[in-house]
Structure 1
Amino acid sequence: MQFDYRDFHIDASPLDECGRYYARAKIYRRTSATEEAVEVKYSGDLGDFASDADAIEAAQRWAIQWCDSRSG
C-alpha cells in the first residue's frame, strides 16, 4: 500500500513468504531540484503477521512514527 504523509511518500507493501506476511516500509522524499523521489529510509522486516492487512497496518504505524519524529 502506497500513500503520502506530510512531506513523504510511503510504500508499506508487505513481503508474502510461505503464508506469512512480513511488514516493511520504504519512505521517500522528493528532491526540490528535480522532484524525483529519493528513498530516505527502509525499515527492514518489522515482524511477520498472519494477514497482509495486519502487516500493512504495522508498517504504516512504523512509517508514520518515523516521519513524525523527523518533521518539525
Structure 2
Amino acid sequence: MQFDYKHFHIDASPLDEGGRYYARAKIYRRTSAGGDAVEVKYSGDLGDYPSDAAAIEASRQWAIQWCDANSA
C-alpha cells in the first residue's frame, strides 16, 4: 500500500513469508517540487501478523507516527 502523508510518500507493503505477513514501511521525501523521491527512513520489520491487512495497518500507523514526530 502506497500513500502520501504530509510532505512524505509512504510505502507500507508487507513481506509475505510462509503465511505470515511482516509489517514494514519505507518513507520518502521529495527533494523539490516534482523532484526525485529520496528514502529518509526504513522501519525494518515491525512484527509479524496473520493477515496482509493487519500488517499494512501496523505499517501505516508506524509511518504516520514517524512522520508526525519528524515533520519540519
TM-score by length of 1: 0.96
How far 1:71 moved relative to its partner? Answer: 1.5
Aligned to 1:15: 15
* Unmatched tracts of structure 1, length 5 or more: none
The answer to whether the aligner puts 1:47 opposite 2:47 as a matched pair is: yes
Q: Number of paired residues?
A: 72
How far 1:21 moved relative to its partner? Answer: 0.1
Alignment of 1:1-72 (within 5 A): 1-32=1-32, 35-72=35-72
Q: 1:33 and 1:61 mapped to 2: Cα distance?
A: 26
Q: 2:19 and 2:5 mapped to 1: Cα distance?
A: 29
Change (3 A) 1:68 1:56: same
Q: 2:35 and 2:15 mapped to 1: Cα distance?
A: 28
* Unmatched tracts of structure 2, length 5 or more: none
How far 1:33 moved relative to its partner? Answer: 7.2
Q: 1:59 and 1:33 mapped to 2: Cα distance?
A: 26
TM-score by length of 2: 0.96
1:18 alignment partner AA: G
User: Aligned-pair RMSD on alpha carbons?
Assistant: 1.2
Q: 2:40 and 2:56 mapped to 1: Cα distance?
A: 19
Change (3 A) 1:33 1:56: closer
